[in-house]
Amino acid sequence: MRHPCLVSTSDPRPSSAVRPVAATDHEEKVRRKDTRLDNYVDRYAARTHGMTASAIRALFSVANRPEVVSLAGGMPNIADLPLDAVGSILNDLVVGNGRVAMQYGSGQGEPMMRDAICEVMRLEGISAHPDDVTVTVGSQQGLDLLTRIFCDPGDVVLCEAPSYVGALGVFRSFQCEVAHVAMDEQGLDPVALQEAITALRAAGKKIKFLYTIPNFHNPAGVSQSLERRMAILEVARRADLLVVEDNPYGLLGFEGDPVPAMRSLDSDIVVYLGSFSKTFAPGFRIGWVLAPHAVREKVMLAQESATLCPPVFSQFAISSYLARHDWRGQIKVFREMYRERRDAMMAGLADHMPAGTTWTVPAGGFFVWVTLPPGLDSQAMLPRAVTARVAYVPGTAFFSDGFGSRHMRLSYCFPTPERIIEGTRRLGEVLKYETSVHETFGTGVRPSVIMPYEAPGANQN
Amino acid sequence: MTRETRETVVVLSGGLSHEREVSLRSGRRVSQALRSRGLEVIESDVDSTLVPRLAALPGAVVFPLLHGEAGEDGALREVLDLLGVPFVGSVGSACRVAFDKSIATTVVADAGIRTPAQVALPHEIFRELGAQALVAALGSHIGFPMMVKPSRGGSALGCSKVETAAELPSAMVGAFAYGPVAVVEEFVEGTEVTVAVVDRGNGPTALPAVEIRPDSGVYDYTARYTAGATRFLCPAEVSDEVADRCAEVAVRVHRELGLADLSRTDMIITADGDPVFLEVNVAPGMTETSAVPLAIEAAGWSLGEMCADLVQAAALRGARRPLATTNQV
């Protein structure tokens, strides 16, 4: 039976008698569906307006497939964790102390967790009191809370150029303006910092803080020397500028002892963000904020309204792990594993990148920052790379202002050394082909359209 | 068609194409719709486990919701035929023609349906003959504004509207990032509509046209998959006569290309009410922001009913052999 709403050319001249909607214009109007497929489209807050689907981000869904060598994600490789030891620690925790560990807890975080965090921070020269620590849901939430308590729409946050895509997302969601400050091979440039502060203040802008990643920068792969840290802090002190130091990778250096944290050099103007995601495991979602007392009070109150309390069970689990396992030894194991992968990445790039390509040599952490020959656009090239079964993050993800198309971030944390080499080989082929396309058409690349969420999700490798 | 059976349906989605994410969304929605009709649904990606999985499910019907290459170019459907697995939708040979814009447009134009002026060019020809001369020739032959698209692919990925000669090279580079051949088309001004064609066993019939009005003016990836970014009107706000013409074009495209079960033809209605064919999809999107589910609803069905009917028709039809279809195009 044919449905009355259908038009068919099996009857060569469809008559209006089988029109989809009823006879009169009035009824037709009544029955026409006029929709945006979202009943709430007019009600969202202004800060959600940038939250749209992105073709670039959708490509990362392919990157997660095993056929693709993903040099895109930032997932730590936790395959080497002693799961039997962690398992018995968790078993004892539930059996012995489950009623407390599974209860609500303190908004600031559990005391034994904050004690242990202070012990971890001592490895990078920080001396802190547990009362000044607030536990957060990963350091990502710490950054969210800091931005929440400091920033009104239109306030300026100073960031490195490039900067961590997840931080740019937080700043954007609070409608901050991001001003990027130049870096060199030693990280953030203090002269450029001073110039930016002067220019922005002269333009009447309110700068709320500087966000910096001093160790094994994500995505740039460089680290600030001790002298550089002191110079940056000197500029900040003179300008009365708050510094937010984000340090997830500090203990994952391949050479020598960690450089003292900025917070160890100045406890008044530095707020420090730390995390167990890379030194232990990200699934527990435990990070922290170490802040001067007045800031800490506000962070803690903001934390209570956001979560009531940070995950209690995770804090008990991590505290037990730190107390009962050789966690320092485990970090050494991680370091050696990442060093081997970094070496594979360096060897692969040296073998397979076309002339004119340059890259940073990270002394720790997860990432390499690659600069492509002039004219190539890493964002426009990504579909070709995905077709060739290799993925990276285009440099544009790490800028809020449209720059970065000549760059890409490669990660070596998750794939094995063999896969890393294979990934660089595939990437070399892609670059070669893309270069030939550009030679054909000249180098007039389109300015890339910037979306705030064009990077893999945290659960992507 | 009222047979009381409980077919097992294998909904295929994902794959390795650029549209994997969209395909997963389509697959989820169709799976839920089929389950709501009481069917047993297995959701499956396309990888090396697929063939043994299908072998272990005799009698299962496959519902391919793979967008982009392998899913829509016919390759996977050829495999399903080889394996003797019944499936919903067009056979491989028909998909191969329909999926490639450079070929489909020619076939459709030969059938007397209005299409935009189009030139299909592989990257190599620009390199060998010199891009400058070809770009200039494209400008004079097609004129501005023009559309540049990869010849194979969907969701508007790699597509750009080019207003001036200066923008053309980068648009070409953008299209070539998605594949080795690009098509350059005359830009057709007018009302954008898409018309689904469904055949539940008694001949292809057009569903009410869906009119598409993206807020940004361009129905690109963001406008397609951000809920709220595009206004849909169904049936389209056009006269009955124009709606009939659109329906007729969609059904003719479906027939001319030898498509089966379900297709969706995108077109532009010019100011004088003439529909111009843009492209046809053999695995139209079924996501929460896709047009076909709206058309199904406007036709008075639910997505679940429609999909279940297509599954049942595929089950009754059984396996199709590739050789039996060689004369369809």
CB-nearest to A53 from B17, B222, B244 is: B222
A247 contacts A278 by C-beta, under 8 angstroms: no
Tell me the CA distances in angstroms from A255 to A220, A259, A362, A364, A374, one per residue in order.
18, 10, 10, 8, 33
3-class secondary structure, B174: helix
CB contact under 8 A, B173 and A68: no
The DSSP symbol for A364 reads B
- B173 and B256 housed in the same domain: no
Contact A73, A275 (CB under 8 A): no
CB within 8 A of A370, min separation 6: which ones?
A349, A353, A357, A358, A359, A392, A407, A408, A409, A410
Q: How many CA atoms lie within 13 A of A141 on its CB side?
A: 22
How confident is residue A453, by pLDDT bands cut at 50, 70 and 90? Answer: low
Encode pLDDT of B132-171 as tens digits. Answer: 888 889 999 999 999 999 999 888 999 999 999 989 988 9
Same domain? For B105 and B230 the reply is yes
Average pLDDT of every residue of chain A: 91
Percent of chain A with pLDDT over 70: 90
Question: What gap in Å lies between CA A67 and CA A76, rounded to an integer?
Answer: 20
Structure-block tokens of residue B83: 């394996």
pLDDT at residue A449, rounded to an integer = 47
- Please tell me the distance from the alpha carbon of residue B70 to that of residue B77, in angstroms, as a whole number: 8
What distance in Å separates residue A449's CA from the closest CA in chain B? 12
B265 domain residue, yes or no: yes
Residues B262 and B251 in one domain: yes
Residue range A203-217: mean pLDDT, rounded: 98
* Cis ω before B235 (30° cut-off from 0): yes
The answer to the question of residue B324 being in a domain is: no
- Whether A441 sits inside 8 A of B126 (CB atoms) is yes
Q: Is residue B322 part of a domain?
A: no
Query: Could you tell me the CATH number of the domain that includes residue B78?
Result: 3.40.50.20
Beta bridge partners of B64: B12
Longest CA–CA separation in chain B, Å: 64
Examine the pLDDT at A239 and tell me if it is beyond 60.
Answer: yes
Residue A14: per-residue pLDDT? 39
Cβ(A227)–Cβ(A263) below 8 Å:
no
Contact A413, A75 (CB under 8 A): yes
Are B197 and B272 contained in the same domain?
yes
**Which residues of chain B neighbour A29 with C-beta distances below 8 Å?**
none
**Residues of chain A with C-beta less than 8 angstroms from the C-beta of B232:** 33-37
Do both B246 and B280 map to the same domain?
yes
Q: Of B186, B202, B234, which residue is a domain's last?
A: B186
B24 shares a domain with B48: yes
Verify that B102 and B226 share a domain, yes or no.
Answer: yes
Q: Is it the case that residue A337 has pLDDT exceeding 70?
A: yes
Contact between A329 and A279 under an 8 Å Cβ cutoff? The reply is: no
Average pLDDT over residues A24-38: 72
Tokens representing B234 are: 């169904």
Residue B230 DSSP symbol: E
Residue A268, class by beta-carbon neighbours within 10 Å (0-12 exposed, 13-18 middle, 19+ buried)? exposed
Contacts of B234 in chain A (CB under 8 A): 32-33
Residue A358 CA to residue A371 CA, distance in Å, equals 5
What's CA A162's distance to the chain center, in Å? 12
Indicate which CATH number applies to the domain containing B239: 3.30.470.20
Pairing of strands B205-206, B191-198: antiparallel
pLDDT at residue number B76? 93
Rounded mean pLDDT of A133-162? 98
Q: Which residue has the higher pLDDT, B127 or A363?
A: A363
CB contact under 8 A, B169 and A444: yes
Judge whether residue A444 has pLDDT over 60: no
The answer to whether the CB of A170 falls within 8 A of the CB of A330 is: no
Tell me if A445 and B173 make a contact (CB, 8 A cut-off).
Answer: yes
**Strands in chain B per DSSP E:** 8-12, 40-44, 61-64, 118-122, 146-150, 160-162, 181-186, 191-198, 205-206, 210-214, 230-234, 262-269, 275-281
- Within-domain flag for B55: yes
Identify whether residues B197 and B286 lie together within a single domain: yes
Specify if B277 maps to a domain: yes
- B127 and B164 fall within a common domain: yes
Nearest of A239, A217, A202 to residue A160 by alpha carbon: A217
Strand bridging mode B8-12 / A407-411:
unpaired
CA distance B119 to A231: 59
Contacts of A343 (CB under 8 A, 6+ apart): A417
* Nearest CA distance, B59 vs chain A (angstrom): 26
Which residue segments constitute the domains of chain A, with CATH numbers given? 55-79+329-441 (3.90.1150.10), 83-326 (3.40.640.10)
- Domain co-membership, B16 together with B75: yes
pLDDT digits 0-9 by tens, A306-335: 999 999 999 999 999 999 999 999 999 999
B306 within some domain: no
Put simply, whether A439 touches B (Cβ < 8 Å) is: yes
- What digits encode the pLDDT tens for the residues A93-146? 999 999 999 999 999 999 999 999 999 999 999 999 999 999 999 999 999 999
- By Cβ distance, the residue of A33, A37, A445 closest to B170 is A445
The reply to whether B257 falls in a domain is yes
Instruction: Pick from A11, A36, A434 the residue to mutate for testing the B interface (most B CBs within 10 Å).
Output: A36
**Highest mean pLDDT, choosing among A54-63, A380-389, B124-133:** A380-389
- Taking the CA of residue B121 and the nearest CA in chain A, the distance in Å comes to 13
* Final residue before a domain boundary, out of B171, B186, B201: B186
Residue A56 has pLDDT above 90, yes or no: no
Does A57 score more than 60 pLDDT? Answer: yes
Could you report the predicted ipTM of this complex, rounded to two decimals?
Answer: 0.89
Domain count for chain B: 3
Helix (H) or strand (E) holding A63: helix A55-63
Cα(A451)–Cα(A375) distance, integer angstroms: 21
Last residue of a domain, one of B138, B170, B186: B186
Using the predicted structure, report yes or no on whether residue A22 has a pLDDT greater than 50. Answer: no
pTM of the complete model: 0.90
Considering the domain architecture, whether residues B243 and B160 belong to the same structural domain is answered as no
Residue A443's pLDDT is what? 60
Domain harbouring B139, CATH code: 3.30.1490.20
DSSP code at position B52: H
Q: How far is CA A210 from CA A157, A219, A404, in A?
A: 6, 17, 20
Instruction: Using a pLDDT cut of 90, give the percent of chain A over it.
Output: 82
- Cβ–Cβ of B221/A55 closer than 8 Å? yes
CA A102 to chain centre: 29
Q: Which residue has the higher pLDDT, A276 or B173?
A: A276
Q: What pLDDT shows up at residue A333?
A: 96
Residue B325 domain flag? no
* Chain-chain contact of A383 with B158 (C-beta, under 8 angstroms): yes
Mutate to test the interface with B, among A1, A2, A5, A460 (most CBs of B within 10 A): A5
- Same domain? B131 vs B100: no
**Which CA distances in Å does A168 have to A92, A165, A178, A289?**
40, 5, 8, 18
> Domain residues for B139?
118-186
Residue B198 phi/psi, 5-degree rounding, is -125, 140
Average pLDDT of adjacent 10-residue blocks, chain B of 329 residues: 66 94 96 96 94 93 92 90 95 95 96 97 89 88 95 92 91 92 96 96 95 94 93 96 98 97 98 97 96 96 96 92 50
Task: Find the CB nearest B208 among A20, A37, A41.
Answer: A20
